[in-house]
Amino acid sequence: MVEKYKVVAAMSALVMIIFWIGDYEWLWTTKKTVVEVYWVGLRDYYFWGYCISPSIFSHFVTIWGHYYRADSIFQRSLSQVSWPSALTLKERVSRNLNKISIWEKKDSYFGYTVKYWLLSLLAFAVNMIWFVQPIVRSASNKKQEDEEDSPLALWAAYIGFGSGYAAMGACGMILLLVLRRSMLHALGFTYADLLPLHRGMGFAVIFWSTLHTIGYMVHIGMDNALAEELNFDGETRGPQNLVGFVALAAMLAMAILSLPQIRRRFFWLFIVSHRYLTIISFAGTLMHYPYFMIWYYVVPSMCLYLADRFIPKIVQAFSVGREVICSFDENSDIVTIVITSRNRMEPLKPYYPGDYISLQLRSLGEIYHPFTIASYWPDDPYSMTLYIRTFGDSKDSWTRQLAEICGQDGKSVVLPMNVDGVFGDRMHDYLCSDEIVIFAAGAAITTFMPLIKSIAARIDAEAASGVPQNTIRMYLICTFRYESELYAYGDFLHQITNDIRFTSWLRTTIHVSRAEKNPRIAIANATGTKTQDLTPPASPTESESIETVAQEYNTVPQLLGDSKRTHIVSGSGKGASDNNQQYRYKERVLSTFLAADSARVSTLHAVRDLLITAALLLIPFATYIGVRYAPIEGAWNGVAQIGAACLVGYILMFIGRHITRREAKAAQLATDDGATSGNTRPYLESVLRAQIMDYDGTIAFKPSRLDVEKYIADLIAEDVGMGQTRALKKTAGKEEIVGKTTTVFVGGPDGFLDSVEKANRKAKWSVDFHRETWSP
């Protein structure tokens, strides 16, 4: 089924691509447009009609799809996790019910989708057109003075001119690829899909800029004009050319600081340098070649980028509480953060599996940090929960500093945090698979928690219909450092290993690789189960196994291994049975998005978002057009137009900030007065406690490190994989191979992802492989 808003977004993108391809001929070489620089003319109509209008219109369409269509698209994908029992595998294959779209297929080596490679090919083709067009035009229109230059000097100038033009075009494209909401997202791309292409376009900008510099330096050198073209006299282009070197140096520094080794270890340095070096390189480019072509390429994407970074913050300020509550568990090294609705009267914007938000704590800096949302929106539409791992982080990292601020020993603190998001819009076509295998390490489990809950709710709803159903088969294989971490994510791991509504289609295996930093036992008494900390005589080393540490005590810590029965130390020596654990969730309802009225809530947030977006984009653009009609000639023409638009835009942003601060202050006063609409401290405490499970030793795990190769071999032996189960059917004398589909997700640190991917290739496992990472 083709969504109408996708067609509109695709048409807008096509118009912009045609404009990019033909703009050199239409805007910069035609006599009718060349002379029309300082007043409104044909160039402006081309630019407004074929570049500005499609980009703004597609942005509105994307916002509409972001709210209105996200729910229906996700529900359509989710509906494929179960199907009538009468529907056989052959019939599912014949109807393409278990086939992932060809656009979502990933190559086996790089792991990128077909649509990513097509977009990359298109971007490369447009860059080459930008490079070749000026060269061809210049070579065919030689000036008389050009005949005095040698062929090498002449072609060096041509190449310098063409690469400079391509560099400006790439600068306009690079910001579009880092938007969280753009026409590309409406077409099915996600932020994670586009980030590699954004980095590739950054490489293109540096490549074209370097080639531009080399080309003109060769030309200038062969003309013996170095002293004339590189100086500070102010009478030639010498100062402008030197500023061009500064811009190129800023680009090269930005590239070095964006390397993965630096970006992931020193994220603050990366993000701050990225911002300031971008300003330096852009300002240097303007001073190097202060012509209107620069504005035509960069201004549209710059405006959309600023709107993308600012508007979601305003929208969230109207619905999200100004203060969040958090706590830090020293045993598991996990920070739990709960964000609530501003007044508990309006639900938060619906979020879906894989969505994320960004947080800013002013006392720790101005940088926003992205985190995956771990909670499931239908469970509580008025709050969202984040689990943040701090193990291994340096003392200067944002997460470690946050852990030091947060409450310890079971205590909690309330902090004023700014929220940016929700973002995501990831595709869920993989839910049509017959089997899904998930390898998760540590906090990566948060990526899959809402997904597993949504599948369970869907299967449970279908089971209530009374029609016999077959369901998707899922295998969750996760590993954690400490047993305490199993309880840091609420009762999620306990529920999926004990609730029949999960265990009927989900097989879960949990590994714990290290001994507890502070070993604990669960002791049952008349008042219930409580936790007792045991301080060991010496801290166990990483090489010591859990079994070794357990033998040093006369107590019986929870060390289950492969056992299916949970034992709790008690005075009577009796243990809790499996049946008791299963009945624990009998009365808990598995909510669905439909039951939580997600479509209506999305409408409320969408209207607010569209109005704010229209104000912050259309009013400055109208101001720009109005000043453009003013009879101003010379260089001040461009300054006046851009300056007026920026001033109006800044005033609107100031008003937006003022309104959000007023709303936040009103919410704080309601809280201080104890009003029922305010998020009082007891309410925040109750929501937080619901997201944390006390240690009671009832979650089964294997006390060993995860052997990925062994698990893959076992899964293959159990016929898990697309290359295993095959059925043959004869059609017109021909044999056709029909088989099931299997999708594998891997989440965790890059080292863990690499090890699983290596094991997968070694086993030659026939699956659709996906890497999931939260690394910035």
Pairing of strands 435-441, 742-747: parallel
In a domain, 631, yes or no: yes
Mean pLDDT value across residues 142-155? 71
Say if residue 136 is preceded by a cis peptide, omega within 30 of 0.
no
In a domain, 368, yes or no: no
Structure-token pair, residue 187: 């077409």
User: How many domains does one find in the chain?
Assistant: 1
Q: What is the pLDDT of residue 151?
A: 82
d(Cα 416, Cα 419) in Å, to the nearest integer? 10
How far out from the chain centre does Cα 235 lie? 49
Q: Are 437 and 770 in contact (CB under 8 A)?
A: no
In a domain, 755, yes or no: no
Q: Measuring CA to CA, how many Å separate 658 from each of 416, 607, 651, 752?
A: 17, 20, 10, 45
Min mean pLDDT across 546-555, 673-682, 690-699 is at 546-555
Min mean pLDDT across 189-193, 266-270, 524-528 is at 524-528
Q: Are 181 and 59 in contact (CB under 8 A)?
A: yes
In a domain, 224, yes or no: yes
The secondary structure of 214-225 as a DSSP string is HHHHHHHHHTT-
Q: Measuring CA to CA, how many Å separate 31 from each of 37, 41, 42, 722?
A: 11, 12, 10, 61
pLDDT higher than 50, residue 616: yes
pTM: 0.81
Mean pLDDT value across residues 167-194? 83
Q: Are 153 and 219 in contact (CB under 8 A)?
A: yes
pLDDT higher than 90, residue 124: yes
Mean pLDDT value across residues 379-392? 87
Tens-place pLDDT, residues 487-535: 888 889 999 998 999 999 999 999 998 887 776 655 444 334 444 444 4
Mean pLDDT value across residues 375-383? 91
In a domain, 28, yes or no: yes
Tell me the β-bridge partners of 744. 437, 769
- Answer with the residue of higher pLDDT: 540 or 285: 285
Mean pLDDT value across residues 531-541? 41
Tell me the β-bridge partners of 738. 727
Q: What is the pLDDT of residue 163?
A: 92
Say if residue 549 is preceded by a cis peptide, omega within 30 of 0.
no
Q: What is the pLDDT of residue 212?
A: 93
**Residue range of the domain that includes 229:** 4-80+88-315+597-662
Q: Are 74 and 598 in contact (CB under 8 A)?
A: no
Q: How many CB atoms lie within 10 A of CB 34?
A: 12
Q: What is the pLDDT of residue 664?
A: 55
Q: What is the pLDDT of residue 625?
A: 78
Structure-token pair, residue 513: 């690789």
d(Cα 626, Cα 622) in Å, to the nearest integer? 6
Q: What is the pLDDT of residue 8?
A: 82
Mean pLDDT value across residues 695-713? 87
Tens-place pLDDT, residues 713-763: 999 888 888 754 444 444 444 444 456 788 898 988 888 888 998 998 888
For 240-243, which contacts have Cβ atoms below 8 Å and span 24 or more sequence positions?
A: 240/287, 240/288, 240/289, 241/216, 241/288, 243/284, 243/287, 243/288
Q: What is the pLDDT of residue 376?
A: 92
In a domain, 323, yes or no: no
d(Cα 760, Cα 764) in Å, to the nearest integer? 6
Tens-place pLDDT, residues 301-353: 878 888 888 888 888 877 888 788 888 888 888 899 999 887 777 888 888 88
In a domain, 616, yes or no: yes
Q: Which residues contact 192 (CB under 8 A, 6 or more apart)?
A: 426
Tell me the β-bridge partners of 529. 524
Mean pLDDT value across residues 678-693? 76
Nearest to 41 by CA among 25, 27, 23: 27
At 202, the pLDDT band (50, 70, 90 cuts) reads very high
pLDDT higher than 80, residue 369: yes
d(Cα 730, Cα 725) in Å, to the nearest integer? 17
In a domain, 114, yes or no: yes
d(Cα 429, Cα 434) in Å, to the nearest integer? 12
Three-state DSSP class for residue 38: coil
- The chain-wide mean pLDDT, for the chain, equals 77
Tell me the β-bridge partners of 414. 325
Structure-token pair, residue 622: 């109208």
